[in-house]
Structures are given as C-alpha cells and as structure tokens.
Chains A and B, each alone.
Chain A
Amino acid sequence: MPKRTDLKHILVIGSGPIVIGQACEFDYSGTQACRVLRSEGIRVSLVNSNPATIMTDPEFADATYVEPITPEFVELVIAKERPDAVLPTLGGQTALNTAVALHEAGVLDKYGVELIGADIDAIRRGEDRQLFKEIVAKAGVRLGVEDPSGLVPRSRVCHSMDEVRETAAELGLPVVIRPSFTMGGLGSGMAHTDADLERIAGAGLAASPVHEVLIEESVLGWKEYELELMRDRHDNVVVVCSIENIDPMGVHTGDSVTVAPAMTLTDREYQRLRDLGIAVLREVGVDTGGCNIQFAVNPADGRIVVIEMNPRVSRSSALASKATGFPIAKIAAKLAIGYTLDEIPNDITLKTPAAFEPTLDYVVVKIPRFAFEKFPGADPELTTTMKSVGEAMSLGRNFTEALNKAMRSMETKEAGFWTVADPAVAAGPGVDPAGVAKESALAALRTPHDGRLYTVERALRLGASIAEVSAASGGIDPWFLDQIAALVELRAEIVAAPVLDAELLRRAKRAGLSDRQLAALRPELAAEDGVRTLRHRLGIRPVYKTVDTCAAEFEATTPYHYSSYDAETEVVGSARPKVLILGSGPNRIGQGIEFDYSCVHAVQALRSAPLGSAEASGSGAGGVGSGFETVMVNCNPETVSTDYDTADRLYFEPLTFEDVLEVWHAEDSSGRAAGGPGVVGVIVQLGGQTPLGLAQRLKDAGVPVVGTSPESIHLAEERGAFGSLLTRAGLRAPAHGTATSYEEAKEIADEIGYPVLVRPSYVLGGRGMEIVYDDVTLRDYIGRATDISPDHPVLVDRFLDDAIEIDVDALCDADGEVYLGGIMEHIEEAGIHSGDSSCALPPITLASSHVAQVRRYTEAIARGVGVRGLLNVQYALKDDALYVLEANPRASRTVPFVSKATAVPLAKAAARIALGATIAELRAEGLLPATGDGGSLPPDAPIAVKEAVLPFKRFRTPAGKGVDSLLGPEMKSTGEVMGIDTAFGPAFAKSQSAAYGSLPTEGKIFVSVANRDKRGMIFPVKRLADLGFEIVATSGTAEVLRRHGIACEQAPKHYEAGSDDDAVSLILSGRVALVINTPQGSGASARSDGYEIRSAAVTADIPCITTVPGAAAAVMGIEARIRGDMQVRPLQDLHATLRAPR
C-alpha cells in the first residue's frame, strides 16, 4: 500500500518551549518528520515557537513559522499556507491539544485540512479516562480475558470535590488523582490523607481544562512497564520496545529510573502485555504511527492493569528510538502519509523491513535529572507529577555496566557509587553506628527521592537484606537489588584485595565501575589518573559495540556505538580526518537544548566543510571523502545530536573524562591504523559547561582540543586574570574580588560596597548566584557555599542596581577578526539571570554610541582572551557607562535565538573557525554575510523577543503550597520562546502567547508594587486603565494610583480567613486576568514579600509580572493584541530579507 498521492502540503505542529514533561525529544521527532516528509517531495510548513530547535532551522521546512502554538496563531498559519493536512502527533501534548482545539473551533473544516496520524475520536478515547477504561475492558473481552474490568484500576471520574470525597470513601485511601487533558501528569498526585485529597484534587480540577479528575484505586508499589507500539494503516502492529521502571508504581515514569528491555518478565507475562497493548491500540483506533502504553503488574500474582496510553510520539518513544535504533518518529511520519511498515526499510540493516520488533543484546538504563536545588522550597519527594528536567541514557552489555554509566552521566556531585562520603548519621552513646546508619538508609528509602539507588546501595552495604530493601522501597524488584548487591560484594573484594590485579580490574570494569569509583576504593592508586595508568598498562580498555536493532542477526550499516568491557570491538577504521564533538549531557536548568542545537550545527558544518589546507593541516589525507568525519559523543536520549543520522558516527557515552578519552583513543587509533590522520580536533565549546570543564584535562592527555584553548578559557573564567585583562584594555567592570573565606568576602564587600553579587566560579545557569545586601546574608551565603576552596573560590562583584543588561554573542577567528552575532537588550533590569529575563534583538532602546561601545569592548575581550570561535559577553549599562559583567568563551544559550533572528548560523561558523577557517573565508563562502554583522542590522530588521519559560507550576512545598515565582540571579527557566514581528509590542505579545498563554485584553488586573517602583508603575497602569482594564490594588499602591486619577478597587494584601476579596482569594478564584507584583525590600526579605500573591498566580496559572520594565513591555504587548493586527510570516521570508544584499 504505497504513499498517498493526494497529500502535497503538510503542516507539522511542534511542541513549543522546553518545559518539564515536554523537552527536546519533540525537536528530535519533529526534525525527523520534517526530513522524511520533504524527502517524499511534500511541501512542509511548520509552526513552533521554540527558536532553540533544529526543526525550526529554515532548511528543514519550506515555510517555518516561529509563532505561538495556539489555535489563534496556528489558524493564521493555516489560512496563509492552506496545507492539505496537519500532522499533530510529533509535537507532544501541545500539538495534539492544539489540533483538537482547531478541530473543535471548526478551523480544520473551514480550510479543508485533514488531520493525519491521529483522529479526534481516537485522541479522545486515549485521553478521556472513563472512555479509556471502557476501551480497555472491550479489548479484554476481545482477548477473552476472564475479568476484563480488572484490567484497569477501579476508579471514577469526578467533576466536583463532593464527588471526589464520595469516591475516595468508597475506594479507601490511598487513591491516585489524575486530572484530564494535562501533560506530563501535571496536577496528579497520590492522596494518603483527607487533607492530601482536598489539596491535590482541588488543584487537579483547576489544572484540567475540562475541570475533571479521575480518582482511582492505588496500585502503589506494583511493577511498572511501558510498551512502545507502532501501527500502520493496514493494521500491522509492532512493539518497538519494552521499558521496565525500577521505581515501582507511584513515581511518574519520567522521574523513574527505567530499563530497556524489561528485565523481570517471563515470556508468558511479556506476551500478555503485548497482546493487551495491541488490543487496546486497535480498540482506541490509533490511525497510524506511534503510541505508548503503560502497565502495572502486581508482583504477588501477576495481575496486569493498563494505566494509560498516549496516542502519539512521546518522551518514551524518543528513549525507545535511541535504545533500539528503531526511529519511531521517522517511521510515524512515513506511516502518516500512507506507507505500511513492510514497505519501509530498516535504516540500520537496509536489507530488512521496519515491520519487525527490535531485539537488544545490551541493556539500556535511563536516569532522570532533577533541579530541586533551584527551587529551595519545593518538596523533593517523587510522585506521579513529573519534576525532572532532563535525563541521561546509557547502554551496556549488562545492567550494572549501563547503570554505572548512567549514574556518572548525571553530572551531579555524586559520580556513581562511593564517589562521595555517606551522609553522617548521629548515633547516641552505646548505639551501634552502623546499625543506625542502616536503619536511617532504610527509612530514607520509604520516600521516593532523587538518587534513591545511592540509598539502596548504602542500605545493602550496611547489611540490609534484599527483602528489607525491597520492602522499604515500596517494591523495587529483588532482581535489580541483587544486581546492586553484586556491586557491593565486588566493592568488598576490591577493597580487600592485596593488589588490584588484571583479573579483578577487568571484572570491575565489566561491572561498569569507573576509574574514579575504583580510585575512591583504592587510595594508593593516586586517584583516577593512577587507576587509568594501571588499567592501560594492563591493556584493559573498552571495546565498542553497535546498536543494530537485531542483536547482530544482520549486518549494521550505522556506526551507532556504546562502550563495553567485552572481547571484540566493532569500530571500523576510516582514513578521513575526524572531529569529535562533545555534547552537553542531560538537560538541566541552565544547560539544555540550546547547546545541543549548537553541537548539531557543528556536525552539519563540519560534515560539509571544504577541506582546505588550513583546516586539514596535519591531516596528510586531505581530499578523502568530503568534509570531516564527524563523531558525536553525548548521553542525552532526547536530543537531535544523538540521532544516529546526525553525525557520521555516534557514541552514546557519558561525558566524563574517562569515557571521552577512551572514545578519542578508539577513533584516533582506528583512524591512524586505516592510514588516516585520526582525530584532528575535539570541539568542547559548543556543549555548554560540561565539555568545557574537560578541556584542560583532555589537552593535557594529548587530545587535540580545537577552538579557544583551555588556557584562554581559564583566562576568561578566572576572575583575577580576567580583571587584569580588562584593566589592560581599559574596559570598565564592576569592582570585584575573589574570596575563599567569609573574612575575605567581607573585606571585599566592605571595600566595594553593598549590594554585591556573589557566586561560585565555573558554574552555568547562575547556580548559587545571589545578590547580597549585608554582612549577615553574606556570612550565611558563604556558610552555604559548601564547595568553597582555593580551587572553587566565590566571586564577589559590585551589583549595579537598575542597570540595563546587554548580552552579546560574537565570533572571533585566529586573525583576531570579530563578528558581532547579535546584541540583545534585556527587558528586565540587571540582577535577573540572563536565562530568565526576556530580551529583544536588535536592542530597542540603545543609542548607536552604546552599540559602538559594545562593539569596541567585545573586540577587545575576544582578542585579549584569544577566542577562536564563539564568545558571549554580558554587559550592564548604567548612567550611560558600560560595564563588563562576564565573558564566556563558548557557545551561549542565546546562539540559536540570535541565529534565527539574524539569519546567520553562528555555531556553524564557530565550528569552522575552530578547525582553522577565518571569518573572511566564511564571508567569501557565504556562511557569514559578505558585509556587516549582527551589530549593524538594517533599520527595517524585524524585532525578535526571547522569553523564558518557568516551571513554578510543577513544584509544591511539602505543605502543598505553590513555590515562589520571584526571579533572581539564579536561573530557573527550563526553556524559551521567540516572538518575532515588525515592532516590539507585537513581538512581545507573541512571546507571551507562546510562553504562557496570551496576555489578557480585558478583565481585572491586580497591582501591588514596592515603594521604589511606585513612580515607575504609574504610566503602565494608567495605560491599562485607559485600555479598559479594571484595576485592583493593595492599599499603598491604590493610594498612589488614585492620586494620579486612576480608578481602582482596593484589596487586602494578605489572605484573610473567611474573606472573599483579599488578593489571594481574588487570584485563586480566577477573577483576575493579570498580576503585577514587585517585591518590597531587598535580599531575603523581598522573597517573603508578596510570596502569597505570586504563588497564587502560579497556582491559578495566570501571568504574573514582577518587574517594572516587564509591566511596561506587557502594556505594549496588550496594546498590540487589542489592535489585533498581528501577522505571521515564515522565517524563510524574513531571512531572505535579512540576507539580501544591500
């Protein structure tokens, strides 16, 4: 059944900004889809508001709309493009919900657009809890299951709290609460008490767009499984992958440590899951494409219940694709246009079809990455609401190898078992401390938490039995626990052995232990380096196996590798000059998709780079093949960089020094053995702080690190050296100092004056950064900065109040020529982390003299540091004077935004420069514009606004209250969007629509501002009143507004029991459309002021503005919305204008 010929133009809907529960896996799937559809000769239009995605690169679609994914804007795109069909199953819940809304609004009918890959009824059947239960029961009947109603947990759908209470009384606590139509399990939770029930179900009803929650029987502690399935229009179904959660039911699958394939099922049980999965898929009527089904299995008697299904490509599908080599999204796109599974070849074997089920001869482990340290008040207990911000995956030839690799991929303080000391346990006199420690570990296991496997290991090591640990952890399968127990036994052997001989070392490596872990157990070996030296002397190195979908039954053509300590390597030598690109590891706040974007661009640029004499210097093999052979190293399964199609070779490996060094060795030695130059360069500056942190050690080990040298990186990072550089160049910077103790810090603060900005050195995302206003807070901060040491001093800077912050991305080549990529003006004042503040490009209020000064400063820094590639500089402009805040000689988070806004691929240029190209050559080649740069954009250039997306909604304090949404110098956002239009107002309005839902055009606005902001707030609020909004204010603010002739109601600031018209009640009851609240006071006291108001806004999911400039921008956006003249325009069009010769 071949491809449909009636589909000539398809609109693909992306997933928008990275948020918890919906991350870059949808860039991966969307990119694959666009590629497939275009290669089939279909015109592709795309809408996605996230500029940091590869899919929104103009070459991936015919018309790319970086516009909000709301029914309003997608309709504009449909009206303009008139596609034949919409494909909504590759853009997560966002795309699916938008498609449903477009259908319900009659838009699809109006324009005669077909929905492909899904149908509305199937979506409803999959997502409506009650319908789904009926579906499962029907599927059970079809299979002849004895008690079909037992295939789902007993439950009831409730629309009111009364119904909720009644149902809970019937089922008995605990019960699970799941709101309908929310993504990533948002708003769901487990109620153990009546109070839990009131709180979670209340919030769940509010979070559900249809005010509906499901209350269901608890299957807490059951084993949890997922199947990834695909179906074609001929009703052929295959199971791509089975996934088993180590954390039993009760922890969201996104927050669980998971394993593929399932490890603890007999064939009988697995086939029952498979039969059920397929029957449910058919009954739901998923048209074509991928779907994911979750099951719980009672470990005591094997009873299976079906938990839920997603009738679309999901986060788990991305994981399954990377785990098996079966490209689910790509195949889903082909199925959507009419192909059947047997007509699509398996990419990896080429000879066999996609109509089969991958089989694995390795084990895959995924571990989630959390960011609780960013949200100090948030409850770190893991529940059925997803809280992790990223994940790492690893592959090994056995479970412990994969587990240990995944653990060291997390880049947390712990780098695998035994790398940090056990937590201290206080034991009273006469009490056995080991016994107390064991009991405390077992007690800690009762609450699911980040790093629970560390606690498991500790408990086992301290003598707990597998049965005890299984019981304490609420049901972790004994098989997994025994695997960890085997590591504990191995540890004892290693510790006790007189010498670490080859046999024992080999066994340790086969179990997946890192050199660093071994060094921790054998102090005499002079740390990790000593272990490595010994290991290499004994000839113990990893081999590299291939992910081939078929357990070696057929030959694989795709070099997708993972390391293992096994007998035979499968790396094929190649004589082409190779470049290793180090990725950025698991997504976390401060290091996410933006860095993956830059890495992918490096691959694209280097694969096709003309191998000129300069770039291939030392290669001796110029002209072999075209371009460099690109080798990607990364461990993040969500990304485009870990698609085996992206680079020439993919190593799915942790980004630790040991693992990277071994990949380099394997590639370099196999390349040289094949008569080529081996690895001619390793790129460390595009993957964020992770690879950058490895630069010096890699260089010292003889690895050819290209681009900005590690010494130059150090020069920019080390405050003293960088300060001297600025002084020599005559560049202004806030007074600053470096402290390794409170006394030193206080001395500096006394000298430069409060407020000061304090932060640890060598961090990303403003981790641990705070503004400090007095000695007491300073002492407290130093006390909390546990890493403080001569190696990790604290930086103390004078903080510039009320300054305009400016961000610059620039390129610099070996000749010292500088290309300004873009100058971004922040909308919020300095003091809010650049990753969290919105910004505009080109700058909207800077004078040309300021721009000239920025250019001069940037050039001086780039040359002074010795940058070969990208440089990001942050400035503050205060009282017409420019200050250098910091410089980072690497790709920044804003590179994709700048590249999209200016039509210049900065990361591609940076990769080329790293390998020896000059800016002049790149201009001649056309990669960079022939003349001008991002600092000299034409006057008619569009205005692009970047807005950050914050995850406050996801978190609750242990008491169940919302967390504070106040912004500060520590970054908290998970992602970003871009709004682009001809003027700032509409561009800002689009950015808000894309990030948070649209700014209101009518209704009530609640205003409560700090004294210092009262003056600045008058104009924006007056304008809002003139636009017809009703204003409600707290007493002080109301007084000022009334004196300026602005009519307003007054509301008490603090929640008053029984009151209905205090601020919090007004907000929670949905009577307010927008909140403007700036905190009173400074430092820690600011945090408490207005907290209730802001957290109420978070709970009610309405926009909350916390700065004066933010309010002014919102007013401009609201005006644009009221005018209603916003248009959509494809990026290709904008870029053609921007790159047109002038």
Chain B
Amino acid sequence: MKRRHAILVLEDGRTFHGEAYGSVGETFGEAVFNTGMTGYQETLTDPSYHRQVVVQTAPHIGNTGVNAEDDESRRIWVAGYVVRDPARLSSNWRATGGLEDRLATEGVVGISGVDTRALTRHLRERGAMRVGISSVDDDPRALLARVRQSPQMLGADLSAEVTTTAPYVVAAEGEHRFTVAALDLGIKRNVPRRLAARGVTTHVLPANSTIEELLATGADAVFFSPGPGDPATADGPVALAREVLRREVPLFGICFGSQILGRALGFGTYKLGYGHRGINQPVLDRVTGKVEVTSHNHGFAVQLPGVQPGAVVPDQVIETEFGGVQVSHLCLNDNVVEGLRARDVPAFTVQYHPEAAAGPHDADYLFDRFAELIEGRTHSEGRTNA
C-alpha cells in the first residue's frame, strides 16, 4: 500500500519528507521528541502533550494496537505525531483496535517514514521549536510561513483547554482512609488510581477552582496535577497553592504541579532547551542517596535563586516565605531540579511522573510518602483536638 506524501517543516526551515499517517490534513505545534520504547498510547492521551507534535524516537509504533485500559485521559492530546515505521498489524491480547485508525478517528495528523533520529538530533541541537505537518500541501515554503504564524509554547496558558469541566470523584480501593482534592491542570488517570490503591478518595476539580471549593470536598490534602503550557502563566493555580501552603494543608504536586509550588514558594521557572521526555531518566533522591529510573515529560523547570540552569544545585536549605525548602530530587543527566520539599509546611512535589504510565514504577513510593504525610497530619491534628 502506498501512502499519501506528507511533509514536516520546522520553524527554522528544516524539512522532512514522509507519508501521511493517521488523519490527512495539516497541523501545528511545538516539536518535541519522546524516547520511550513503550507506552505510545499513554503518551498520546497524556494532556501534557497538548499543542505538541510528538516525535517518537522508537522506530516501530503501534505494534500492540490500542486498548480500553491504557488511555491516560478521555482523548488523544498530541497536536501531531511523527513516527518512522507504523505497524500494519496490532498484536496483543488486550488490543481492541489499531493505532492508526484511532489517530484518524480522533483527527490526529501524523507523518511516518521520517528519519526521526535526524529530526531528534536537530531538536537536541537547536531546541524544541514550532513545527507543521501537512499531507494536503506539498509546498514546504508555504507551510513554513504558516508554522511561523502558529502560537509559541513559551507564554502559553493551556490549563483551561485540558481541564475537566465538572468535578468528579475517584473512589478509594478498599477501605477509605483519606480524601484528596486534585486540581486538574491536565491530570493523568493513573494519579487517582495510585492514590486509590492507598485508600485515598480523589475529588478531581477544574483548574479554576477556588480554595473554598477545594476544601469543601472535605479534603485532607491537595494535589496539583501535571499539565501542559508555560508555568509562568499559571497565576491562578499559583495563588491557590499559596492559600494551601498558608493553611498548612498537605500538598503534593507532580510536574506542572511542581512548577506551581516552585512559583508559590517564590522561585522562577524557565524553558529547557529540548526538555525531558522519556521513561529512562535517572533521578537522585537526595534523602536516601538512591537513584530511581523515572518517567519524564517536561519542557520547563524550576529555577532556584542564584543557581544557573545546568549548574550543580547545592544541597542546602533555601529560606522562603513558607520556611525552609530543600531540593529533594535532581536529574543526574543535567542537574535539573526534579523535586522540592518544604521543611516547615507539609508540601512536596516532583517534576517527574511517579504515576508512570508510561514508564517504570521506581518512584511509586512517593504516593506512600504523600499518604504518610496526610496520615501524620491528621493524627497530630487529632491529638491537638483531643
């Protein structure tokens, strides 16, 4: 079967030729590469990839088809999909359909047959940038012009586009122990699932919820979810986080949620050259000295006062408005801040994905830490009350 010709044009003009994959059409977004060898279904349905065109470095994509269980949200979010060798046949006992059909059904424009390694090397050297894919217009110059008119990721406020419109509840598995209010900035399904496994009932709330709405759920703790966009624009969630800190309600954040906490503590954020997107990233837990292999998906990171991006982060307590804060986790590849822990208020966050999906489960213990943090709080409050 011969496929329709398609082109991919980066904003700096570099052009790749390939074939139409998924939906025929044209799409724009920020070109980023993901190095995971498994988990394309989770990646595609991860809201954090909203407005991004994902380049898969693994050459064979779609081998296991798609199934009913592995979606991380209600739909595919990627703005476009770039692969080298799409599967013609799905082979897996759980598969309910083929990936390409799913992409087409959801209108996702993709391109296949691209030298994805060349494209990845380009993005590594030049940084993430805007890109367009077209299987309807063969003229790279015309497409380039449209790419340059498309929106930038820097300064993009995307939470409102991905968040749930109405609150919903994910019940605890087995005995209910705690209630968590989760602010949905682009949450993945596996987060409430991991919490539920620890007896947590999660109330997932829209991104524009107020502190009162969060606490009205009877929450023992608050969770700030991962999500897309530039954290510098997330003033609403930042203000909300400060309310949570002020009330000393236990707080846990992941990814975008970690950047929110960073800003709430008074730190800055910055855009990484080409981000971390993969499931093999080594992160050092500074408390235990152990290394965990983790799932990442972030293009921005927290910037500490006086520490240049990439420089070694000193292992010392940083004083903030909410007391002392430590950098609890670091990426061993490039010294990026991967976790923050407040010493005087019950809050900690990680920049990476302990919920995995896709990726290794090494960091699953963080959900235990969250449960312990809540437990410690509720117990000590109980004693105070008594």
Scan residues 21-65 of chain B and give those whose CB is less than 8 A from a CB of chain A: 33, 35-39, 41-42, 57-60, 63-64
Q: Does B359 have its Cβ within 8 Å of any Cβ on chain A? A: yes
User: What mask results when residues 1076 to 1107 of chain A are scored 1 for a CB within 8 Å of chain B, else 0?
Assistant: 00000000000000000000000000000000
Q: Does B382 have its Cβ within 8 Å of any Cβ on chain A? A: no
Among B277-285, B298-306, B346-354, which stretch is in contact with chain A? Answer: B277-285
Q: Which residues of A contact B189 (CB under 8 A)?
A: none
Q: Which residues of B contact A763 (CB under 8 A)?
A: none
Residues on A lying within 8 angstroms of B by beta carbon are 1, 234-236, 238-239, 242, 261-271, 274-275, 299-302, 340-342, 351-353, 355-363, 397-399, 466, 477-479, 482, 486, 545, 550-555, 566-568, 570
Taking a contact as CB atoms under 8 Å apart, the answer to whether B332 and A353 are in contact is yes
Q: Among A235, A341, A358, point to the contact of B280 (Cβ < 8 A).
A: A358
Scan residues 79-117 of chain B and give those whose CB is less than 8 A from a CB of chain A: 84-85, 87-94, 115-117
Taking a contact as CB atoms under 8 Å apart, the answer to whether B63 and A341 are in contact is no
Taking a contact as CB atoms under 8 Å apart, the answer to whether A266 and B280 are in contact is no
Q: Which residues of A contact B63 (CB under 8 A)?
A: 263-264, 479
Q: List 16 A-B contacts (CB under 8 A).
A: A235-B290, A236-B290, A263-B60, A263-B63, A268-B70, A271-B38, A274-B361, A342-B284, A352-B334, A357-B280, A361-B35, A361-B58, A361-B59, A361-B116, A552-B57, A568-B117
Q: Does B225 have its Cβ within 8 Å of any Cβ on chain A? A: no
Inter-chain CA distance A363–B117, complex, in Å, is 13
Q: Apart from A271-B359, A361-B35, A363-B59, what 13 extra A-B contacts exist at CB < 8 Å? A: A261-B58, A267-B358, A353-B332, A359-B279, A361-B57, A363-B60, A479-B91, A482-B89, A545-B117, A552-B121, A553-B33, A553-B35, A554-B124
Taking a contact as CB atoms under 8 Å apart, the answer to whether B116 and A264 are in contact is no
Q: Which residues of B contact A271 (CB under 8 A)?
A: 38, 356, 358-361
Taking a contact as CB atoms under 8 Å apart, the answer to whether A266 and B361 are in contact is no
Ranked nearest first, the 4 interchain pairs of A and B with the lowest CB-CB distance are A267-B39, A567-B115, A568-B118, A551-B57
Q: Which residues of A contact B356 (CB under 8 A)?
A: 271
Taking a contact as CB atoms under 8 Å apart, the answer to whether A479 and B87 are in contact is yes
Q: Does B251 have its Cβ within 8 Å of any Cβ on chain A? A: no
Q: Which residues of B contact A398 (CB under 8 A)?
A: 59-60, 84-85
Taking a contact as CB atoms under 8 Å apart, the answer to whether A357 and B293 are in contact is yes
Given A271-B361, A352-B333, A355-B332, also A238-B93 (CB < 8 A): no
Find the B residue at minimum CB distance from A482. Answer: B89
Q: Which residues of A contact B260 (CB under 8 A)?
A: none
Given A302-B94, A363-B59, also A265-B64 (CB < 8 A): yes
Taking a contact as CB atoms under 8 Å apart, the answer to whether A553 and B117 are in contact is no
Find the A residue at minimum CB distance from B289. Answer: A234
Taking a contact as CB atoms under 8 Å apart, the answer to whether A399 and B121 are in contact is no
Q: Which residues of B contact A545 (CB under 8 A)?
A: 117
Taking a contact as CB atoms under 8 Å apart, the answer to whether A486 and B60 are in contact is no
Taking a contact as CB atoms under 8 Å apart, the answer to whether B91 and A554 are in contact is no
Q: Which residues of B contact A357 (CB under 8 A)?
A: 279-280, 293, 360
Q: Does B171 have its Cβ within 8 Å of any Cβ on chain A? A: no
Q: Which residues of B contact A261 (CB under 8 A)?
A: 37, 58
Inter-chain CA distance A486–B115, complex, in Å, is 20
Taking a contact as CB atoms under 8 Å apart, the answer to whether B357 and A267 are in contact is yes
Q: Does B367 have its Cβ within 8 Å of any Cβ on chain A? A: no
Taking a contact as CB atoms under 8 Å apart, the answer to whether A265 and B38 are in contact is yes
Q: How many residues of B contact A (CB 8 A)?
A: 54
- Shortest CB-to-CB span from A601 to chain B, Å, is 34
Q: Does B120 have its Cβ within 8 Å of any Cβ on chain A? A: yes
Find the A residue at minimum CB distance from B122. Answer: A568
Given A263-B63, A266-B38, A477-B91, also A356-B289 (CB < 8 A): no
Taking a contact as CB atoms under 8 Å apart, the answer to whether B124 and A555 are in contact is yes
Inter-chain CA distance A300–B93, complex, in Å, is 6
- Shortest CB-to-CB span from B1 to chain A, Å, is 8
Taking a contact as CB atoms under 8 Å apart, the answer to whether A478 and B42 are in contact is no
Q: Among B57, B60, B69, B93, point to the contact of A359 (Cβ < 8 A).
A: B57
Inter-chain CA distance A554–B360, complex, in Å, is 21
A-B CB contacts (within 8 Å), total count: 168
Q: Does B67 have its Cβ within 8 Å of any Cβ on chain A? A: yes
Q: Which residues of B contact A359 (CB under 8 A)?
A: 35-37, 57-58, 278-280
Taking a contact as CB atoms under 8 Å apart, the answer to whether A553 and B278 are in contact is yes
Q: Does B232 have its Cβ within 8 Å of any Cβ on chain A? A: no
Taking a contact as CB atoms under 8 Å apart, the answer to whether B280 and A267 are in contact is no
Q: Does B16 have its Cβ within 8 Å of any Cβ on chain A? A: yes
Taking a contact as CB atoms under 8 Å apart, the answer to whether A566 and B118 are in contact is yes
- Shortest CB-to-CB span from B310 to chain A, Å, is 10
Given A266-B38, A267-B70, A271-B360, also A299-B115 (CB < 8 A): no
Inter-chain CA distance A286–B283, complex, in Å, is 23
Q: Which residues of A contact B239 (CB under 8 A)?
A: none
Taking a contact as CB atoms under 8 Å apart, the answer to whether B117 and A267 are in contact is no
Q: Which residues of A contact B169 (CB under 8 A)?
A: none
- Shortest CB-to-CB span from A467 to chain B, Å, is 11
Scan residues 298-320 of chain B and give those whose CB is less than 8 A from a CB of chain A: none
Find the B residue at minimum CB distance from A232. Answer: B291
- Shortest CB-to-CB span from B205 to chain A, Å, is 28
Inter-chain CA distance A356–B35, complex, in Å, is 13
Q: Which residues of A contact B36 (CB under 8 A)?
A: 267, 359
- Shortest CB-to-CB span from B35 to chain A, Å, is 4
Q: Which residues of B contact A477 (CB under 8 A)?
A: 91
Q: Among B37, B42, B282, point to the contact of A355 (Cβ < 8 A).
A: B282
Taking a contact as CB atoms under 8 Å apart, the answer to whether A553 and B124 are in contact is yes
Find the A residue at minimum CB distance from B113. Answer: A510
Inter-chain CA distance A361–B116, complex, in Å, is 9
Q: Among B38, B90, B281, B332, point to the contact of A267 (Cβ < 8 A).
A: B38
Inter-chain CA distance A141–B175, complex, in Å, is 21
Taking a contact as CB atoms under 8 Å apart, the answer to whether A397 and B59 are in contact is yes
Taking a contact as CB atoms under 8 Å apart, the answer to whether A341 and B38 are in contact is no
Find the B residue at minimum CB distance from A397. Answer: B59
Q: Among B88, B117, B120, B280, point to the contact of A397 (Cβ < 8 A).
A: B117
Q: Which residues of B contact A566 (CB under 8 A)?
A: 115, 117-118
Inter-chain CA distance A570–B88, complex, in Å, is 29
Find the B residue at minimum CB distance from A341. Answer: B291
Inter-chain CA distance A261–B57, complex, in Å, is 13
Given A357-B280, A566-B117, also A266-B94 (CB < 8 A): yes
Q: Which residues of A contact B87 (CB under 8 A)?
A: 479, 482
Inter-chain CA distance A271–B356, complex, in Å, is 10
Inter-chain CA distance A170–B279, complex, in Å, is 44
Q: Among A269, A340, A479, A567, point to the contact of B118 (Cβ < 8 A).
A: A567
Inter-chain CA distance A271–B88, complex, in Å, is 24
Given A265-B64, A266-B41, A397-B59, also A299-B93 (CB < 8 A): yes
- Shortest CB-to-CB span from A705 to chain B, Å, is 33
Residue with the greatest number of chain B CB neighbours at <10 A, chosen from A239, A265, A351, A355: A355
Q: Which residues of A contact B282 (CB under 8 A)?
A: 342, 352-353, 355-356
Q: Which residues of A contact B38 (CB under 8 A)?
A: 262, 265-267, 270-271
Residue with the greatest number of chain A CB neighbours at <10 A, chosen from B37, B69, B87, B88: B37
- Shortest CB-to-CB span from A125 to chain B, Å, is 23
Taking a contact as CB atoms under 8 Å apart, the answer to whether B293 and A356 are in contact is yes
Inter-chain CA distance A265–B279, complex, in Å, is 15
Q: Which residues of B contact A341 (CB under 8 A)?
A: 291
